Structure 1
Amino acid sequence: MDMELITTLFRTSIRMATPILLASLGGALTYHAGIINVAMEGLMLISAFFSVVFSYLTGNAFYGIIAGMMASILISLLYSVFVSFLKANNFAIGFAINILVSSLTLFLMRIMFKGENAFNSPDIAPIPELKLITGNYFLDNYILNFSILTYLSILIAFVLAFIVYKTSFGLRLRVCGEMPQALTTAGVKVGFVQLCSSVLCGALCGLAGAQLSLYNVRMFSREMTGGRGFVALAAILISGGKPKRILVISLLFGVFDALSVKLQGEKVAPQFALMLPYVMSVVVLLLFHLKSRKGLKNA
């Protein structure tokens, strides 16, 4: 295979994997707290919208990222109020949030940008890359010169692995999901722990949406998340919420995404290319389920 093609596929894989990794790490926190968060699709989408709007208005990607994170956190808090305190069904509320955000972003975009279903402008400030040219082909193309959020996401994966399994907060988080009665007996409110996990999930999904709209494509379009929130949920379920495993699985999904982009340029039906990452997600989930059932039978 041509070296240039391998390099292009690798860089595209990393770019595609970063939003999934960030969203998955956020969803892993609520997963450990006892909530399977199906609202990540909406959290990423609302962040993608406000990241583009504020990046465009201010000419600064940092303000766009902050705006996207704040919007995602607010929606995540709304989700948490219904699920953690009002005890509503998390799946029903999650899908309702996704529909709400989809309609809200479309409504706001058509008001702000003259009835368009997509907004693209050279005035949208993109997320910068870590620009370091060493002259070494491997370092320049495989290690350096990616989005700053890519490096941050990898760091966050290791930090969360430490927090979840080595700190008192992580212990409370896991007990909240596994034995909430024990947490209540210890005098810690389950709803408060779940609220904290939802805020952190909102922040990380906000970073995911910003990466998607300010780096991957540098625009906003209707439903631009394209099911990545559900791919992130698949990564969480497959990994059991373990951050380091999520890192590896997200990279795998990134490869599938990169292959779908490559296939769109070949003589392959575009519908097949677009559905490849999601088909592979279903296949991987099925294999994981079969392996889990086999393990239970052997036990």
Structure 2
Amino acid sequence: MEFLLNPAALGDVLASSVRLGIPIAFAALGGVFAERSGTYNIGLEGMILAGALGAAAGSFMTGSPLVGLGAGIICGVFSGLLLGVMAIHYKVNQLVAGIAINLLLVGLTAFLSRLIFGDMAGGARVEGFGTINLAFLSEIPIIGPALFSQDPLFYLLIALAVGGWFWLFRTNSGLDLRAVGENPRAADVAGVPVFPFRYTAIAVSGAIAALGGVHLVLSQVYLFAEGMSAGKGFIALAAIILGRWSPVGAVLAAFFFGFCDAMQLRLQFSNPDVPYQAFLIIPYVASLVALVGFVGKVRAPAAVGLEYDREKR
């Protein structure tokens, strides 16, 4: 842990923590909006993969990362709406529906990647986003590389988190969404359109979660690989709880898990004699500890996961 005394090394660890936490943060942020409307989004893992494939395919076919960004978002929206149709319209158990979305998208993205990239599947390089250095701010010791020398999607994440927090807790429509997630019948009686709010929230949730996959492809590895989400969607579920269903809180919790991931990578390189599997479990152990330590101390939206039928009394 001597790097804690070295400002340059500490800055590198923090920068890595942010980069590794961004996909988790996007997924967690998307999950917050879905669950605030009363719909569990267990399908975050699959939506990350959908966004990753859309980004890779769009950039590969056109050579433009902006087209890849748009394609990834569209894939996320359709994934979210599919979950919405299952959970809201057909009233499938929301946990079961989310698991089904994950299983579907894991298989579908693997199949489509081979169809789109052919023999280059798993190795087709695509155009992506570069790093933006914010003038002298990026040269600030320790925090400069972490906060002011990142790709454009990082700054988009911060804008979405802050803007989402303001909208959710400081606007009338944000209050309506929270009311739908707390007591949909009371909101319905008050004239709030429950189902349109839930469908919109789950579509937005899918779009934002897909940005996690977009970041993996266009800002980290510049290719699509099967299963590249690697459990980040499930860690995002823990970040939602740890962040108390707040957009900003969920993003900060995701960066904590990113720090755990950065630490396990650093420990692998500094301890080559220790089996690397011993360090790989660190982020997952951290998520379990967070859930065990906080699940009894926070309260989820009261109606999340519950079926709502306006015809029933």
TM normalised by structure 1 equals: 0.91
**Structure-2 residue corresponding to 1:296:** none
**Structure-1 residue corresponding to 2:292:** 286
**1:109–1:115: 8 Å Cα contact kept in structure 2?**
no
Whole-angstrom CA distance in 1 between matches of 2:193 and 2:92:
17
**Aligned with residue 271 of structure 1, among 255, 277, 281:** 277
**Structure-2 residue corresponding to 1:72:** 76
**Structure-1 residue corresponding to 2:133:** 131
**1:42–1:97: 8 Å Cα contact kept in structure 2?**
yes
Whole-angstrom CA distance in 2 between matches of 1:168 and 1:137:
39
Following superposition, the deviation at residue 227 of structure 1 comes to 0.9
Whole-angstrom CA distance in 2 between matches of 1:10 and 1:113:
35
Q: Cα deviations across residues 183-240 of structure 1 (Å, max 9, x unaligned)?
A: 1112333211100101111221121110111112222111110111111111112222
Does residue 167 (structure 1) correspond to residue 171 (structure 2)? The answer is: yes
TM normalised by structure 2 equals: 0.87
Q: Cα deviations across residues 37-66 of structure 1 (Å, max 9, x unaligned)?
A: 101111110110110111122111111010
Contiguous gaps of at least 5 residues in structure 2 = 300-313
**Structure-2 residue corresponding to 1:11:** 15
Following superposition, the deviation at residue 290 of structure 1 comes to 4.9
Q: Secondary structure at the match of 2:128?
A: coil
Aligned partner letter, 1:287:
G
- What aligned pairs does 1:1-299 form with structure 2 within 5 A after superposition? 1=3, 2-114=6-118, 118-121=122-125, 124-134=126-136, 136-138=139-141, 140-266=144-270, 267=272, 268-291=274-297
Whole-angstrom CA distance in 1 between matches of 2:181 and 2:127:
40
Whole-angstrom CA distance in 2 between matches of 1:283 and 1:204:
26
Contiguous gaps of at least 5 residues in structure 1 = 294-299
Whole-angstrom CA distance in 2 between matches of 1:140 and 1:175:
40
Structure 1 segments of 4 or more deviating over 6 A?
none
**1:45–1:223: 8 Å Cα contact kept in structure 2?**
yes
Aligned partner letter, 1:187:
G
The CA RMSD measured in Å over matched residues stands at 1.9
Q: Cα deviations across residues 143-174 of structure 1 (Å, max 9, x unaligned)?
A: 32201111111121111111111111111111
How many residues align structurally? 291
